[in-house]
């Protein structure tokens, strides 16, 4: 009897340690804490419309792009990141809307592609930046897409660089779980044309997907929603078979209305897709890339820089030509 009592005492005494070691559960579903998605009042499309009221393209861009809820991207250009992220989610919260933010500042960003090269100056600098990002959001409801391209961009990286990147992403997820309990974070998983589902499942898991709410697909790309949904389901089958869990996913539909022509950098003939919504074959369909913003100095955006708003590209994308 005494042995059983001692065993019970020992078990109870260890309970707080077990609870402390468990990953923190998100307090609530941010989609039920808000009433619809937040439309960035200072997006590049919105600014262009405001400064070009007499342009013949303005009505179409205003009606179809500028007022559609779209993510805001945060990086080195954002200034003090905790203040910037906090102001953005605070403005959305005041309107009872759900903001979508993109964290795009990882060390050695776009290491292989190069069009969007940059990011934090070191892994330590990134850890500090992302901790401030999460702290700025705090307990307000939000969706964060974490580091687009980071898990697809392995082709020219050494194993040491890959390990370093995965460690940065895992650390970022830890910070969001610690500081931003009402934020759903989606670890970016590239797109179906980049890596096999089996390869991507392994990369996601090694980068800490178990800590994330889910994964994101098709960011800044053009592949159809159906192609991405099939790929997301295939990734989940791999995750289930190999690691024993699955995750919800979101799809960037901002520019996939005509699907892909096989090119990823400012291809012609693309079209805007389904506006941001819950469901649609994924957990959410989101406009993550702003239609009309350049992918870089390429394609129909020759002479532009990544992120620059190109009104002619935006206008043609409304109609698909």
Quickly count: other Cβ atoms within 10 Å of residue 1's Cβ: 5
Residue 262 pLDDT more than 60? yes
Query: Please, what's the b/e burial string for 37-68 (b: 16 or more CB within 10 A of its CB; e: otherwise)?
Result: bbbbeebbbbebbeeeeeeebbebbbebbbbb
**Count of other CB atoms within 10 angstroms of residue 19:** 8
Residue 97, Cβ density class (10 Å: 0-12 exposed, 13-18 middle, ≥19 buried): middle
The pTM of this model reads: 0.90
**Mind telling me the catalytic residues?**
149
So what's the pLDDT on residue 114?
67
In whole angstroms, what is the distance from residue 235 CA to residue 188 CA? Answer: 12
pLDDT digits (tens, 9 = 90+) for 265-298: 999 999 999 999 999 999 999 999 999 999 999 9
Instruction: Provide the percentage of residues in the chain whose pLDDT is more than 70.
Output: 91
The radius of gyration computed from the CA coordinates of the chain, to the nearest angstrom, equals 21
């Amino acid at each position: 009897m005494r042995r059983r009592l001692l065993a019970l005492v020992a078990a109870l005494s260890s309970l707080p340690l077990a609870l402390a070691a468990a990953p923190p559960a998100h307090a609530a579903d941010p989609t039920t804490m808000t009433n619809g998605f937040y439309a960035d009042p200072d997006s590049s499309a919105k600014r262009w419309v405001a400064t070009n009221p007499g342009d013949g393209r303005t009505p179409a861009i205003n009606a179809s792009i500028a007022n559609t809820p779209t993510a805001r991207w945060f990086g080195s250009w954002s200034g003090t990141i905790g203040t910037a992220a906090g102001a953005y989610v605070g403005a959305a919260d005041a309107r009872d809307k759900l903001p979508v933010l993109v964290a795009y500042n990882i060390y050695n960003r776009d290491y292989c592609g190069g069009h969007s090269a940059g990011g934090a100056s070191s892994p330590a600098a990134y850890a500090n930046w992302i901790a401030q990002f999460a702290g700025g959001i705090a307990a307000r409801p939000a969706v964060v897409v974490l580091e687009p391209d980071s898990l697809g961009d392995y082709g020219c990286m050494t194993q040491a660089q890959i390990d370093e990147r995965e460690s940065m992403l895992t650390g970022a997820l830890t910070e969001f779980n610690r500081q931003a309990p009402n934020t759903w974070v989606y670890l970016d998983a590239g797109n179906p044309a980049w890596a096999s589902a089996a390869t991507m499942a392994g990369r996601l898991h090694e980068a800490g997907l178990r800590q994330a709410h889910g994964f994101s697909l098709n960011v800044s790309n053009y592949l159809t929603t159906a192609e991405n949904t099939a790929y997301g389901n295939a990734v989940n089958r791999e995750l289930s078979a190999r690691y024993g869990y699955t995750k919800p996913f979101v799809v960037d539909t901002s520019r996939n209305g005509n699907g892909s022509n096989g090119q990823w950098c400012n291809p012609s003939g693309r079209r805007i897709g389904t506006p941001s919504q819950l469901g649609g074959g994924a957990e959410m369909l989101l406009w993550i890339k702003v239609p009309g913003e350049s992918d870089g100095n390429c394609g129909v955006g020759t002479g532009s820089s990544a992120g620059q708003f190109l009104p002619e590209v935006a206008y043609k994308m409304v109609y698909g030509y």
